[in-house]
Every structure is written in C-alpha cells, then in structure tokens.
Amino acid sequence: MTADRKNDHVWLASEHHRPGGRTEFDDVTFVHHALAGIDRADVSLAVQFAGFDWRVPLYMNAMTGGSAVTREINRNLAIAARETGVPLASGSMSVYFKDQSVADTFRVLRHENRDGFVMANVNATATVDQARQAVGLLEADALQIHLNSVQEIVIPEGDRSFGDWGPRIEEIVEKVGVPVFVKEAGFGLSRATVLHLRKLGVTVADVAGRGGTTFARIENRRRVGDDFAFLEGWGQSTPACLLDACDVGLPLFASGGVRHPLDVVRGLALGASAVGVSGTFLRSAHDSGPDRLIAQITTWLDQLKSLMSVLGAHTPADLFRCEVRILGDLREYCRDRGIDVTRFARPFPTVP
C-alpha cells in the first residue's frame, strides 16, 4: 500500500507538472543595467550559510524512496548529485520506520554519492529515535523535517493532530546531532512560522511555497470523489514567502515552483541562501538513467553563471543587492502584508 502510494506520487507529480506555466516568480523582474556586467570567469557559484559551504546555490529537494521504482529514481538523483556537486534530500523516510526492508531504496542516495551533501527527510511526528535512524541510514549531513498539514487532511488515513509539532521539532533539534532544516511541501512558510522556527533552534527554513507541485491536487486525485478540490491555490507562493521573511535572521531556502535558472536567480535575489527543485527535475530522473538529469543540471549551472555575469554578481550573495521590481499579484500581497517593495528596487551599489 505504501509502495503504491510512493509510486502514485511520482506518477501524479510528473503528470501534473506543467513546465512554463505562469507563477508569481514572473512578478519578480530585474532592473537591467547594460554596464553592470562582469566577466563570467569571475563568477563563483559558492554559497556560505549557517557555517556550511556549498559549491552551488542549488539542491534537489525531497521526493521519494520506499519502492523498487523509486529506488531507481533515487539512484539517478544520487548519481546526478555526485556528477554535478548539487546537494540532495531524500523523500520522507516514514515508510522505512514501518518496514526496514525498504532501507536500500533510501541508502542508494548515499551509496552512489559518497562525498555529497545529503539531507534525510522525516515528518514532524517523527521521534528523536526515528530522526537519528534516518540520519544514520544516510550518514546525512543534515535532517529535513517537513510540515505538511494540508496534505495530511486530504489523505484519508492521514494525521489529524498537529498541535505538538513545535515541541517535537524542538526536541529533535536538541538531540539529533546534525543541523535541522524545516520545510513546507508546497504551501509556503509564513513570517510567523519562520520566526517560530528560529525560536525552536532550526538552522534553515525552506519556504517550499505554492507555484509548483501541489500535494492538495495529488492526494485529492488519489481519493474517491475529488472532494478537496477547493484547496487548489491554498498557501503562499515561494517569492511571497521570501519577501515576508527575508529579514527574520534565519537562513532561508527557496523552493516550490522553480522552473528554470532565472527563477533560481530570483530566489537568491529575494534573500534565499539556496534554491531547491523537485518537480522540474523529477521527469528527467524518472525517464531513463541519470544522463538527462546531469545534462539538465549542468546547463542550469552554466546559465546561472551567465545570468549572474549580466547582473554583475560575483557570488550568489551579491544577487541580494540587485534592484528588483515586484509586480502584479505579488505586489498586492506585499501591500496587504505591509512589506515595502521599494526597498527591493534600491540602487545597485556599483552604479557610478
């Protein structure tokens, strides 16, 4: 049953994935300065945050594991991570806590990627012992905890009690022995949530906002009767989350609806330390061996460098100083939340 569910997620996520559709990332535009460019050779993709040093500001976000089909996908993801230097996260390991025979469907992420940065993924009901098991199995560098209350209410047998998630996260942070990154799963983290996570001691908040894969739709398709269709559109978009919380003082990751390298640049310009992709990479990882995904990621990193050279950014951190205009629905969101969009359109520091 659980293996079927994991396979369904992959199949439905691929089926629903619509590359190129409009999102609120399109409401983020750069003021172009024709003389701001730098040599591409002077661009470095390295990022530093919370004591970490990553070669690239891009990672493959949590997806799968728990079945034969998803083992193959994880193998492709891990080989692509190894060949491109991109960090990656496992899918939720809850299934492993119930059935240890699926261990290898997750362990392949580390076996194929000995020296890479690997995040183990659990839900917010995991115990400290389970969190330690997940980290141990993958020799993980960090633990991701996902917050997915909206998804749970759509799953007939899903969780219905969310009141103790905060204290559980706090205990894991204290005892698990690796840094804890907390993510949503496609509905976004509000400013209040990010402030709360900072208090709980987490190391990174991954906003995982609306705009890409949506588990309301995926789980709804698995139900008889489609009766949660009204949840379509729930939550905040990824750029809205970043604008809401970029000054909270906790490192943010941007994920949810990232379609191409320009979205990566937009996420970094709105204050993210790194940008995560699931759905857009899934199809490449699902279709055949790892080669297609390796080629896709290599192209993305190459285009990312080119965009940064046009914007005069020597490093991803420099992008936060670019002049960015906020338009459309995203601007409305900022107005309602009291966020001053003019401060993101501030002058570029190297303008003479």
Q: Return the range that interacts with ligand FNR (CB under 6 A); candidates 7-15, 246-254, 325-333, 339-347.
A: 7-15
Q: How far is the CB of 1 from ligand FNR (least distance, A)?
A: 16
Q: How far is the CB of 13 from ligand FNR (least distance, A)?
A: 4
Strand segments, DSSP code E, in the chain are 28-30, 47-49, 52-54, 58-60, 88-92, 118-123, 142-146, 180-183, 204-206, 252-255, 274-277, 324-326
Position 207 contacts ligand FNR (CB under 6 A): no
Amino acid at 129: D
Q: Which of 87, 116, 251, 256 binds ligand FNR (CB under 6 A)?
A: 256
Closest alpha carbon to 206 in 346, 87, 111? 87
Position 10 contacts ligand FNR (CB under 6 A): yes
Q: Return the range that interacts with ligand FNR (CB under 6 A); candidates 96-104, 252-260, 300-308, 311-319.
A: 252-260
Q: How far is the CB of 107 from ligand FNR (least distance, A)?
A: 16
Q: Which of 116, 212, 235, 271 binds ligand FNR (CB under 6 A)?
A: 212
Q: Angle 1-148-94 (CA atoms, 0-180°, nearest 5)?
A: 40
Q: Which of 64, 105, 113, 130 binds ligand FNR (CB under 6 A)?
A: 64
Q: List residues bridging with 92 in a β-sheet.
A: 121
Residue nearest to ligand FNR (CB): 212
Q: Which of 25, 47, 61, 216 binds ligand FNR (CB under 6 A)?
A: 61
Cα end-to-end span (Å), the chain? 63
Position 273 contacts ligand FNR (CB under 6 A): no
CB burial of residue 85 (10 Å; 0-12, 13-18, 19+): middle
Q: Which of residues 153-182 bind ligand FNR (CB under 6 A)?
A: none
Total number of residues that touch ligand FNR (CB under 6 A): 26
Q: Which of 81, 240, 252, 277 binds ligand FNR (CB under 6 A)?
A: 277
Classify the phi-psi angles of 177: left when phi > 0, otherwise alpha if psi is within -120 to 50, otherwise beta: left
Q: Which of residues 89-148 bind ligand FNR (CB under 6 A)?
A: 91-92, 121, 146
Site string for ligand FNR, 183-202 (x = CB under 6 A): x-xx----------------
Report the C-alpha gap between 298 and 58 in whole angstroms. Answer: 11
CA 269, chain centre distance (Å) = 16
Alpha carbons within 13 angstroms on the beta-carbon side of residue 189 total 30
Report the C-alpha gap between 208 and 210 in whole angstroms. Answer: 7
Q: CB count, 10 Å around CB of 209?
A: 29
Whether the CB-CB separation of 303 and 32 falls below 8 Å is answered with: no
Report the C-alpha gap between 244 and 234 in whole angstroms. Answer: 17
Q: Judged by CB, which is closer to ligand FNR: 208, or 269?
A: 208
Indicate the pairing of strand 28-30 with strand 324-326.
Answer: antiparallel
Q: Judged by CB, which is closer to ligand FNR: 5, or 325?
A: 5
Q: Which of residues 286-345 bind ligand FNR (CB under 6 A)?
A: none
Amino acid at 174: E
Q: Judged by CB, which is closer to ligand FNR: 19, or 156?
A: 19
Q: Which of 63, 240, 293, 330 binds ligand FNR (CB under 6 A)?
A: 63
Q: How far is the CB of 352 from ligand FNR (least distance, A)?
A: 39
Q: Which of 74, 236, 255, 296 binds ligand FNR (CB under 6 A)?
A: 255
Q: Which of 257, 271, 290, 316 binds ligand FNR (CB under 6 A)?
A: 257
DSSP label of 26 = G
Residues that bind ligand FNR (CB under 6 A): 9-10, 13, 61-64, 91-92, 121, 146, 183, 185-186, 208, 212-213, 255-258, 277-280, 282
